[in-house]
Amino acid sequence: MVQVRVNEGLLEGELVKNEYGGTFFSFKGIPYAQPPIGDLRFKAPQPPKSWEGVRSAKAFGPRCYQFDVFTNTGKGGSEDCLYLNVYTPQIKSDKPFPVMFWIHGGAFICGGSNDDIYGPEFLVRQNVVLVTINYRLEVLGFLCLNTAEVPGNAGMKDQVAALRWVNKNIANFGGDPKNITIFGESAGGASISYQLISPMSKGLFKRAIAQSGSSLCDWAISVKPRERALALARQLGCYSEDDKELYEFFKNQPIESLVATSAPITLAEKQKGGAEIFFTICDEKKFGDNERFFYGDMVDVVSNGVHEGVDIMTGFNSDEGLICLDSAEGTYKSLEAARNFPELFIPKLLLFKLPMIQQIELGEKIKRFYFNSQIKIPDDWEKWANFLAMQMFILPTLRWLKLVAPTKKNKLYLYRFSCKSERNVISQVRGLGELVGNKPVTCHADELMYLFDAKLLETKVDVNSDTFQLIDRASKLWTNFAKYGNPTPDDSLGVKWAPYSVEKQDYLDIGNVLMPGVAPEKDEVQFWENVLKEYGQ
C-alpha cells in the first residue's frame, strides 16, 4: 500500500516494476480541478474539492470528450476530464527529483495523458518525476465569445491549474517544485510556447521544451474567434447574435453536438474540408478581475515577453509534413488542388490580410520555389510534404527562436530529430504506407516513441538492442536538460550541444548519430523570411 497526502486528501497509488530497470511509484487519475460541467462549462477551472478517507489513484481519469482525428476511432471521453498522473522513482529521497510536466498534442482536438502513448518507463528510469495531464479540447476548451462568460482559452487555463497544483503538491511525491520543466509536442509544443509568455504561468516552472510547435504556428492562433463561435451556433441551428442567448445555447447543448462539428468562416476553409483546427488560443479581452491567459500582438509579446531566466529547448522532426498528408489518393487530390489554386500555399494569417490579386501572386511565387515550373502528380508528393513541414512547424519554430534570442534573457537549444528505427510508426498509423513505401522517415510525433513507452505498440524493446540505445540517448538528452539546463553537461554522449544564438544558429541533429550543425534548412528559411518581410508579417 502506497499513500501520499496532497492538499485535498489522501491518495493511494501503487509500486510498479519497470521492465527497463528498477521500480517506480504510480498515481493516476488525480483531480487537479473541479469537473468543468454544468455552469462550469467554458469557465476557467475551479480548485478541486477535498475528499474524505483514501482516494484510489490506480486508474486513469477519462480523457476530454473528443473525436480522434488521427485514428478516426469515433467520439469518446468525458466532460469531467481534469485529471493528472504522477510517476516518481521514490516518494522519499534525500534530494528531491527534477519534475517533468507533460502537455500532450493532438491539434487541440484530441489526445490525453494515458500510457497508451505516454508510458513513463523511459523517463522515470533517468531519475525524474513525470507528470502527465488532461485538459479541455476543441469547443470545450477553446470556444470564445469575447464575453465575461466565455472569454476563451479555458483549455490553456486548465494547463495552468494543473501546473499550480503540481507546484503545491509535488514535493509530497519526491519532486522538486523549484525545478519543474514543462514539455509538450505539436499542440502541446505550441502550448509550451504560450506558457512561456502567459502572465498566468510566470514563476511556475524553470525550464521548457517545445517539440514541433510554437505560438507563431498559424494553427495555434485563433483568427476572428467570435465569428467562429457564431458559425458553430448556425451549424447547430442557433442564429442569434445576442451574448446571453448564445451562452445559454452553447451551455445547454449535448456534448455530442459540440464536438467534431465543422465551423468554417471562409469559403476556402469550407472547400478544404478535413481536420481543420477551428478552435484554438485567442487574444483574450479583459473582463473585471478575470485572469487572462494571453493577450496582445503575438510577435511583440514573443519579442519582449518570454519569461526571463527560463531555459528553453525547441526543435522539429526531419519529415514533419507527412502528418499533414492523407492516403496516397488523398495526397494526389491535394496536389491537384495546389496545382489549380495557388492561394493554398499562403499561410492562414497572411491569407486573411491579402487582397485576391496579391494572394494569387504570392501563391504562384511559393509554388515556383517548391515545384519549379509545374506540379507533377504523383511524383511530387515529397515536395508537397516539405512545403507543409516548413509552413506548419519548422518556420514558426525558427522564427520564434529568432525573436527570443536577441533579448539574451534565456538560454536556448535547437534540435532537428531524425532518428530512424522500428519505433518510427506514425506515418504507418496515418495510413501512409502506400505513399512512403519502405523509405525510413521521421514523421511529426515520431520522437515521442523514443521518450515514452507507448503501450499501443504492444512490444517490449530489448535493452541490448540498438533501438534501446537510441531511446536511452534521447531520454538522457531530455532529462539532462530538465536536471541541469544543459542536454550535454558532460562528455558521456560524445557530443557538445552548443546553445542557439542568432549569429551562429547552432543546433543538434538527433539522428542515429548525434551531429552538431548550424542554420538548419537555411535556403528555405531565407526564402520564407523574405516573403514575410515583403508581405508585412
Nearest to 249 by CA among 260, 238, 259: 238
**77, 65 contact by CB (below 8 A):** yes
What's residue 32's pLDDT?
A: 98
Nearest to 48 by CA among 6, 3, 12, 105: 6
Span of 367-376, 397-406, 446-455, 492-501 with lowest mean pLDDT: 367-376
Phi/psi of residue 120, each to 5°? Answer: -85, -5
Cis peptide before 499 (omega within 30 of 0): no
| Structural domain spans, the chain | 2-223+280-307, 317-535
HSE-CB for 198 with a 13 A CA cutoff: 26
Residue 146 burial by CB count (10 A; 0-12/13-18/19+): exposed, middle or buried? middle
Distance CA 82, CA 442 (A): 32
Q: Which CATH architecture has domain 317-535?
A: 3-Layer(aba) Sandwich (3.40)
212-257 pLDDT per residue, tens: 999 999 999 998 999 999 999 999 999 999 999 999 999 999 999 9
Question: Is the pLDDT reported for residue 368 higher than 80?
Answer: yes
The domain made up of 2-223+280-307 is a member of CATH 3.40.50.1820: yes
- Region 477-482: mean pLDDT is 98
**110, 68 contact by CB (below 8 A):** yes
What's residue 272's pLDDT?
A: 55
Where residue 267 falls among pLDDT bands split at 50, 70, 90? low
Distance CA 420, CA 467 (A): 9
- Region 308-335: mean pLDDT is 92
**33, 160 contact by CB (below 8 A):** no
Q: What is the DSSP string of 39-104?
A: GGTTSPPPPPPP-SSEEE-SSPPPPBSEE-TTTT--EE-BS---EEEEEES-SS-SSPEEEEEEE-
Nearest to 167 by CA among 197, 195, 116, 206: 206
What's residue 537's pLDDT?
A: 59
Nearest to 313 by CA among 128, 498, 528: 498
124-147 pLDDT per residue, tens: 999 999 999 999 999 999 999 999
Do 2-223+280-307 and 317-535 fold alike per CATH?
Answer: yes
**367, 238 contact by CB (below 8 A):** no
- When computed from its CA atoms, the radius of gyration of the chain, rounded to whole angstroms, is 23
67-91 pLDDT per residue, tens: 887 766 778 999 999 999 999 999 9
Phi/psi-derived region of residue 494, left when phi > 0, alpha when psi is between -120 and 50, beta in every other case: left
Nearest to 134 by CA among 105, 168, 107: 105
Give the DSSP letter of residue 319. Answer: B
Nearest to 391 by CA among 443, 431, 344: 344
Distance CA 496, CA 488 (A): 6
Question: Is the pLDDT reported for residue 13 higher than 90?
Answer: yes
Which pTM was predicted?
A: 0.96
Nearest to 105 by CA among 76, 135, 129, 84: 135
The mean pLDDT of the chain is 93
Instruction: Tell me the percentage of the chain whose pLDDT exceeds 70.
Output: 98
Where residue 348 falls among pLDDT bands split at 50, 70, 90? confident
Give the DSSP letter of residue 143. Answer: -
Where residue 121 falls among pLDDT bands split at 50, 70, 90? very high
**482, 128 contact by CB (below 8 A):** yes
C-alpha cell at 17: 516494476
Question: Is the pLDDT reported for residue 414 higher than 70?
Answer: yes
Q: Which amino acid is at 73?
A: T
Phi/psi of residue 97, each to 5°? Answer: -85, 145
